[in-house]
């Protein structure tokens, strides 16, 4: 089995710019509601899709301008079966949402301008619900 992903394995061999805090920006700058802090349902809201595309595009433009590789993460932080059920998603609906989130990232990264540096994206498929005692 080939396990080589092409991802740099030597520490310091590649510098990445990563995005982060998209949920916070969506809530506090743009006013979108994120039930259970889940961003993936916003893929069904055209205005939110435009805003998210712009957030990622700005990150990728900075990476390109600085000659950096980029890593963007998905909107799937809460897209696990536990959280999906809390949000009213069926197993198939959640699978569809995860595929939609991945395709969204691919679409955003398709036109990373002005660089030959790689673009990586990561998906987390969410964390399970952990009760706080």
Closest-CA residue to 49 (of 30, 68, 71, 63)? 30
Residue 94's SS3 state is helix
Model confidence pLDDT, tens digit, residues 23-82: 999 999 999 999 999 999 999 999 999 999 999 988 888 888 888 888 888 788 788 888
What pLDDT shows up at residue 110? 79
Instruction: Work out whether the CA dihedral 93, 37, 124, 62 comes out positive or negative.
Output: positive
Q: pLDDT at position 9, please?
A: 63
């Amino acid at each position: 089995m080939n396990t080589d992903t092409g991802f740099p394995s030597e520490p310091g061999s590649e510098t990445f710019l990563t995005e982060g805090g998209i949920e916070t920006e969506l809530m506090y700058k743009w006013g979108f509601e994120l039930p259970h802090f889940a961003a993936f349902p916003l893929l069904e809201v055209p205005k939110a899709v435009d805003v998210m595309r712009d957030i990622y595009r700005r990150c990728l433009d900075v990476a390109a301008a600085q000659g950096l590789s980029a890593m963007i993460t998905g909107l799937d932080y809460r897209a696990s079966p536990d959280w999906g059920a809390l949000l009213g998603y069926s197993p198939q609906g959640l699978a569809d949402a995860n595929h939609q989130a991945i395709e969204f990232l691919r679409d955003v990264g398709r036109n990373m301008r002005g660089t030959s540096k790689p673009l990586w994206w990561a998906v987390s498929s969410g964390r399970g619900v952990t009760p706080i005692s």
